[in-house]
Chain A
Amino acid sequence: MAASFDLKNDGVVVIIGSGAGGGTLGNELAQKGVDVVILEAGARHEYEDFINDEWDSFAQLAWTDKRTTSGDWRVAKDFPNLPAWIVKSVGGSTTHWAGASLRFQEHEFKTLSTYGKLEGANLLDWPITLAEMEPYYAKAEAKMGVTGTNDWPRLPGNNNFKVLKAGADKLGYKECHTGNMAINSVDRDDRMSCQQTGFCFQGCKWGAKWSTLYAEIPKGEATGHLEVRPNAMAIKINHDASGKVTGVVYADKDGKLQEQKARIVAVAGNSIESPRLLLNSASSQFPDGLANSSGQVGKNYMRHTTGSVYAIFDKPVHMYRGTTMAGIIRDEARHDPSRGFVGGYEFETLALGLPFMAAFLDPGGWGRSFTTALDHYDHMAGLWIVGEDMPRAENRITLHPDTKDDHGMPVADVHFDDHANDTAMRNHAYKQGSALYAAVGATRTFPTPPYPSTHNLGTNRMSAKAVDGVVNKHGQAHEIKNLFVSDGSQFTTGGAENPTLTIVSLAIRQAEYIAGQMSAKSI
């Protein structure tokens, strides 16, 4: 039975956000007998409620509260109030996500030592190594049912994958397969296997794809130690004179302010909301925001170097059939500065339905050059580029000076300028992606600009030293012992890989640490 805790209960761990980080941490702690309240800004929709329709699903699940943008990235011009495409719903962005689950490479935990100092980049080594992460990666893969691990077969390849694979072979790429996906390739965990429905981004109506919504939270609730409170938007974290956090002020479903007392607070609202909340919790003792004596809260915002390549063929493809991210090429993920940039990138297939294709292929574009592309929608194949971008101090989340949300909380401004390394990498990837499709006979290719950010990282980064970052290697705030960060904002650097497996692994690791510290009475 799901628990229900009193607002005055100051023995609970309060987690803000129920996505990859928060949802996992909540279940892991509950399994260890720790009482947890998850405050989730969004509503609870079970997987039967998901909608196989791009815009209707967006309206159901996406975070559409106002945000503002600045910087030279094209998203700021095309989608000035939608810097990120992420979710406000129980389960967070693990409802929308595609399921690609990759481990970081060893050097990606040590970018400063591997790449050296790069002008305009705020590179830093993680305070953890791959070796330390490996056991947690293994646990995360096991819990999420990642294909290609634990003897689970990979998914069958769809049409979009087959085009990618044919091109990869022509170009001589060696590591191309249907990926490591947190999607059931066989029935497991009381959930069925993938039916190739093709609406992974809209929430999997079969429950085949892992999401905290139905794969973590109900298990936590069953222990009697977890309460998920939907429609609860955290606004401020309170602290006492000793500098320890004591509770979280949130707006409930009727917009009324409540305070949930807490022994420990873990912030997992994704990399825009988490720093927004810490900044908004400024007090006379912490004038620049909680956990911000380093000044790093909100800085080093990363979004991966992304872009897409779509291509038209003289024969049909029907790329939208089957898993959205149906395969991967990993050859370019290596660090090889001879290509003109540090770090690497992955190619992953991607398909959008017609409505989203119209919105994202060339935002603002019109006329025949645009429409003749859509005319051949069913002859299109597509891939997505995801590569390591450089952390930069100027790329940051700040509180907007005037614009406020419905609860009177200043909205987040997201500033982003590409680093020269990001641009060089993207151009390399556009060239390779276009060559790949040309090799299979594409008659026209489209280097498509980045969408609003789906991978948001780095804004409360981990560091060995307190001056360089916000949290230590356990995601614990350097300056406040009972305050944790549990989402992708902990990332010191972004790696080339989709982030969620690492977020989940960190949450499993953090749960062990928190439970240990609690029983040792150190927090």
Chain B
Amino acid sequence: MVTIYERKLGSEGKPGLSRRELLKRGGASALLVISGSAVISPEHAWGLETSTLKPETMATLIQMARDIYPHDQVPDKYYAIAVKAHDEQAGKDPAHKDLVEKGIADLDSKSGKDGYTGLGWEEQRVAVLKQIESTPFFQAVRGGLVVGLYNQKEVWPIFGYEGESYSKGGYIARGFDDIEWL
């Protein structure tokens, strides 16, 4: 099971890990920390437990997801939710586990000694993604994101999409024709 959980307050009374724990554990990227079988966002107080994929793989997948569909105003948490289905699928289907683990390993090897997440600029990472764009691995990740990311109701307000409207009586009295700048 993959769980995305809100983390309890750390020992310094701030969300997430304490500074000391953070320094001690280090991690693949500056933003996400690997702890046991979990990927943790110390800054934003959430964690993601993996069951089949390596947590490092999951952290790289999250970065990859953001590089494929970069929205600077969308927090990592939603990218994590969007890719967690790969862990679930990998649990049921060894071929999928292989596809993802090998895909990420390949991505890392193409990215130099610090791996994919070691590349500092999005352009550098995108250049690596371009090399694997037509692989089944890339297409599986990208394809899954189209629904996995954009169909999360929680991200809709970030884009200004209001979703369901029937229960609110439609827009007949809520601005269907409120444009003023024309």
Interface residues in chain A, defined as those with a beta carbon under 8 Å from any beta carbon in chain B: 52-53, 55, 156-159, 162-163, 166, 194-199, 205-206, 313, 315-318, 320-322, 353-355, 357-359, 364, 366-368, 370-371, 374-375, 377-379, 440
Contact = CB atoms under 8 A, between A and B. Distances in A.
Interface in B97-131: 126
A157 B179 CA distance: 11
Given A195-B170, A197-B171, A206-B170, 6 more contacts: A156-B177, A159-B175, A159-B178, A313-B181, A315-B181, A367-B70
Contact of A158 (B126, B167, B177): B177
Contacts of B71: 371, 374-375
Contact of B150 (A162, A206, A318, A354): A354
A55 B147 contact: yes
B142 to A, nearest CB: 6
A166 to B, nearest CB: 5
B160 A378 contact: yes
Contacts of A163: 179, 182
A371 B182 contact: no
A353 B174 CA distance: 17
Nearest to A48: B166
Interface in B113-170: 126, 142, 146-147, 149-151, 156, 159-167, 169-170
B177 A322 contact: yes
A377 B163 CA distance: 13
Contact of B166 (A197, A322, A364, A440): A197
Contacts of A158: 171, 176-177
A147 B35 CA distance: 62
Contacts, number: 113
12 contacts: A53-B163, A53-B164, A156-B176, A158-B177, A159-B175, A195-B169, A197-B165, A318-B179, A322-B171, A357-B150, A367-B70, A374-B150
A198 B69 contact: no
Given A366-B142, A371-B69, A374-B159, A199 B182 contact: no
A320 B162 contact: yes
A199 B166 contact: yes
B175 A205 contact: no
A195 B167 CA distance: 11
B176 A52 contact: no
Given A353-B163, A354-B150, A355-B150, A366 B172 contact: no
B182 A162 contact: yes
A364 B69 CA distance: 11
| Residue from B163, B170, B176, B181 with most neighbouring chain A CB atoms (10 Å) | B176
B68 interface: yes
A302 to B, nearest CB: 28
Given A159-B178, A315-B181, A375-B159, A196 B151 contact: no
A22 to B, nearest CB: 28
A197 B178 CA distance: 15
Contacts of A322: 170-171, 176-177
A357 B176 CA distance: 19
A359 B151 CA distance: 10
B146 A358 contact: yes
B83 to A, nearest CB: 14
A81 to B, nearest CB: 13
Contacts of A206: 166, 170
Interface string B50-75: 00000000000000000011110100
Contacts of A358: 146, 149-150
A53 B163 CA distance: 7
Contact of B126 (A157, A166, A354, A367): A367
Contacts of A197: 165-166, 170-171
B159 A354 contact: yes
Contacts of A367: 68, 70, 126
A371 B166 CA distance: 28
A61 B175 CA distance: 29
A320 B160 CA distance: 10
A99 B167 CA distance: 22
Nearest to B142: A366
B181 to A, nearest CB: 4
A185 to B, nearest CB: 12
A421 to B, nearest CB: 32
Contact of A195 (B150, B172, B178): B172
B182 A166 contact: yes
| Residue from B69, B70, B166 with most neighbouring chain A CB atoms (10 Å) | B166
A317 B162 CA distance: 13
Contacts of B68: 366-367
A159 B176 contact: yes
A195 B156 CA distance: 22
| Residue from A321, A358, A379 with most neighbouring chain B CB atoms (10 Å) | A321
Contacts of B162: 318, 320-321
Contacts of A52: 163-167
A205 B161 contact: no
A321 B176 contact: yes
Contacts of A198: 165, 170-171, 176
Nearest 10 CB-CB pairings of A with B? A378-B160, A195-B170, A322-B176, A197-B170, A358-B150, A354-B161, A52-B164, A321-B171, A196-B176, A159-B179
B40 to A, nearest CB: 26
A61 B164 CA distance: 17
| Residue from A163, A313, A322, A354 with most neighbouring chain B CB atoms (10 Å) | A354
A320 B161 contact: yes
A366 B159 CA distance: 17
Given A55-B151, A359-B146, A157 B177 contact: yes
Nearest to A195: B170
Contacts of B181: 313, 315
Contacts of A194: 170, 172
Contact of A355 (B147, B164, B179): B147
Given A353-B163, A366-B142, A321 B182 contact: no
Contacts of B171: 158, 195-198, 321-322
B70 A316 contact: no
Contacts of B151: 55, 355
Nearest to B164: A52
A199 to B, nearest CB: 7
B179 A317 contact: yes
B63 to A, nearest CB: 14
B78 to A, nearest CB: 13
B139 to A, nearest CB: 9
